[in-house]
Amino acid sequence: MTAQSQPQVTLFGVGPGFGLPETSPYVMKTMVQLAMAGIDYRFAPGDREASPKGQLPYIEDAGDRVADSTFIRGHIEARYGVDLDAGLTPAERAQAWAFERMIENQLGWAIAWFRFMDPANFAKGPAHWFDRAPEAMREDLRQGLKDAVATNLKAVGIGRHAPDEIALLGTRSLWALSSQLGDKPFLMGQTPTSVDAIAFGVLATALTPFFDSPLRRRAEGFANLVAYVERMMARYFPDFAWAGAAEEAVAA
Ligand SMILES: N[C@@H](CCC(=O)N[C@@H](CS)C(=O)NCC(=O)O)C(=O)O
């Protein structure tokens, strides 16, 4: 038997679920960016307490532990000599960064609101993270998570609005993404660049048929975004059976 060499990089994430190859859009972003950079890695379920920033994703690379998807990207580019925005002009890089901030700092929170604050979605999804906790603690843990997310949602502002207002704000960002994409295969042109990683992660999170929400319904209305998620899924997660929103809408 030949000894298999272990990849040098370990990515710590959440794992598949909710109709997605990975439940965290930020972990998905890092998975896609590692693939874009051509870096082989091992995936492992992460422990937030072991993360330098208390969040997932984080990576370990030859003894270095790096947390936060954007700093992970910086680490990958610096250590492996890659540029995930190769070919973009400074103005295009600026535009891509602005879109990334919109996706992470606004659209992602709007989607999270419907995942965590909608009682049916919470019960169907995040509540199950505590299924293996002792029964006496389970409900307190679920409530604790909901309270923590509600506090974060208030702090970023989204949590202060009514559900229809949150859907409206999210839809403005979907529209912006749809307009930027147009009929190009990727957000910045013919080649995937760094911003596609988070756009894909967050849009797939919005579109998964596992959860229902007004924002998912609005996302389904942007045909180019639905096709984009399918294209990115086929490219970066070819073995994953994506029950795309388009398919379900057609079948319905
Ligand atoms: N800015 C971070 C955001 C990561 C993030 O929000 N991770 C979530 C999972 S989707 C998390 O670990 N949340 C737990 C917490 O905030 O306590 C990044 O880009 O990596």
The pLDDT tens digits of the residues spanning 121-143 come to: 999 999 999 999 999 999 999 99
Q: How far is the CA of 13 from the centre of ligand 1 (A)?
A: 10
Confidence of residue 244 (pLDDT cuts 50, 70, 90): confident
**Higher per-residue pLDDT: 1 or 26:** 26
Measured from the Cα of 152, ligand 1's closest atom is 16
Place of tokens 């999804």: 125
Tokens of 121: 């979605």
Whether residue 40 has pLDDT greater than 50: yes
Mutation probe of ligand 1 site: the residue of 32, 33, 55 with most atoms within 8 A of C-beta:
55
Domains belonging to the chain, first-starting first, are 1-84 (3.40.30.10), 86-252 (1.20.1050.10)
| Nearest protein Cα to ligand 1, atom 15 | 55
Measured from the Cα of 23, ligand 1's closest atom is 10
pLDDT for res 4: 64
Q: What is the rounded average pLDDT of the residues 1-29? A: 90
Name which of 3-17, 56-70, 99-113, 204-218 the model is least confident about.
Answer: 3-17
Radius of gyration, CA atoms only, the chain = 18
26 lines ligand 1 (CB under 6 A): yes
Alpha-carbon distance of 229 to 204, in angstroms, equals 6
69 lines ligand 1 (CB under 6 A): yes
Dihedral of alpha carbons 211, 215, 216, 217, sign? positive
48 lines ligand 1 (CB under 6 A): yes
Mutation probe of ligand 1 site: the residue of 18, 26, 34, 202 with most atoms within 8 A of C-beta:
26
Q: How far is the CA of 188 from the centre of ligand 1 (A)?
A: 25
3-state DSSP assignment of residue 103: helix
55 lines ligand 1 (CB under 6 A): yes
**pLDDT tens per residue, range 144-165:** 999 999 999 999 999 999 999 9
pLDDT for res 177: 98
Dihedral of alpha carbons 197, 10, 16, 101, sign? negative
Q: How far is the CA of 56 from the centre of ligand 1 (A)?
A: 5
Residues recorded for the chain: 252
68 lines ligand 1 (CB under 6 A): yes
Contacts of 111 (CB under 8 A, 6+ apart): 170, 202, 205, 206, 213, 215
Q: How far is the CA of 77 from the centre of ligand 1 (A)?
A: 21
30 lines ligand 1 (CB under 6 A): no
**pLDDT tens per residue, range 172-193:** 999 999 999 999 999 999 999 9
Alpha-carbon distance of 67 to 54, in angstroms, equals 8
